[in-house]
Structure 1
Amino acid sequence: MPTARRPAHAPDDLDLLRDFANAVEAGSPAALQRWLSEHDLAGAGLTVADVERADAFRRAVRGLLAANAELGEPAAPLREFNAALDWLGAAPRLLSARRTGITTAAGGVRPALGRLAAILLDAVHAGTFQRLKLCANPACGRAFYDHGRNAAGRWCDMAVCGNRAKVAGYRSRLRTRSGPGDQPHSIDEAITRLATRDPRL
């Protein structure tokens, strides 16, 4: 997984949702509690069932981010997200003229997931959620915020994932269009040909 840069930060509270989407599945109540504490989210008396619910919620969020990046269909993650809202016992609250919140049934991981759900819903209303995406590099898949003017970004880091995708595409085209003896012998040679607009493309 590329580690040269952290995937692009999202504005305001939406960055917390991005962090959650990028988190490794909790695996245990202690690991989930640690992540929640590090991110100033409430959670106490967590159980294995809470871990399973948090991981399912995270998968639903990632499914929605994949759909934002046109890497998947939204129907299934929408169902999963709405099922999570039902389990949370979510009730909307107006916190200000521009911000909502969610009250939930008491206990466990519910308050934390309720806050994350409210962030997502606020971002949908604000028109910023569609810019939160998964990187199109299958070896990466990190959530990032697309700051581009036309929101057409596909990679969390153009210099790392974007460059790798371009080199891979270039090599694939060479295999298709060139004879066996005309293939580059290294990544450096492929990059050089690409940079010089090799006429053999």
Structure 2
Amino acid sequence: MFVGYKRLKIQPFNEDGTKKGELIIVEGKQHKGATTTAEISGLAKDSSTVAGSNIDYYIARGGLGEVKVALGILDLPEDSADVLSGFRKDANGITYGGSDTMPPYCSIELESTEDTGEIALIGFFKGVFTRDKLNLETLDSSKTFKPEPDAWSFKPGASMADDSTNGEVMQKFIGDTTENAEAITVFEKQLFDPAISSGSDVDGGGTGN
């Protein structure tokens, strides 16, 4: 059982698989954004039966469904939001979105805690963010301002790394941070420092991540 939602790490990538800027960490630091909610759906694919010899001979059950991560993020800096949205910024600091807007591929790690106190990490190797809308609302002088989180969607795709994660959509780890420090290091390296196949298309073909 997951208790709380402490931290979100995001690593954007260039089209050639190299890192696009620094790791974005959302962990509740003032004016740096905070995590509120994360809902991961599509982890199961509907099974179907195949008949044979007058019985349900085989159950087709492989793979994942249409995986999607719905995120609530409070006060994410607009500079980071622009990067995730694929917006272009000029020398004057003006940001543009249009027909050429292309959100970058990103890997993400969500951090929670098990009810046993162990760390719980969920990672997705490659996907894209979308923020469908911006909200502006007048201030009500009779009420205290209460910020609301922005709704973000993350659509994962399959890993293209030259390691055991190739073709995988997600990974998960639960354990003690001290006893499993090396495992956590490997977990994050696979997400944020992937070995991309030379000459391969970074776009990849998997749609299940």
Scaled by the length of structure 2, the TM-score of the pair is: 0.26
Q: Which has the higher helix share?
A: 1
Decide which structure has the larger Cα Rg and report it: 1
Q: Which has the higher strand share?
A: 2
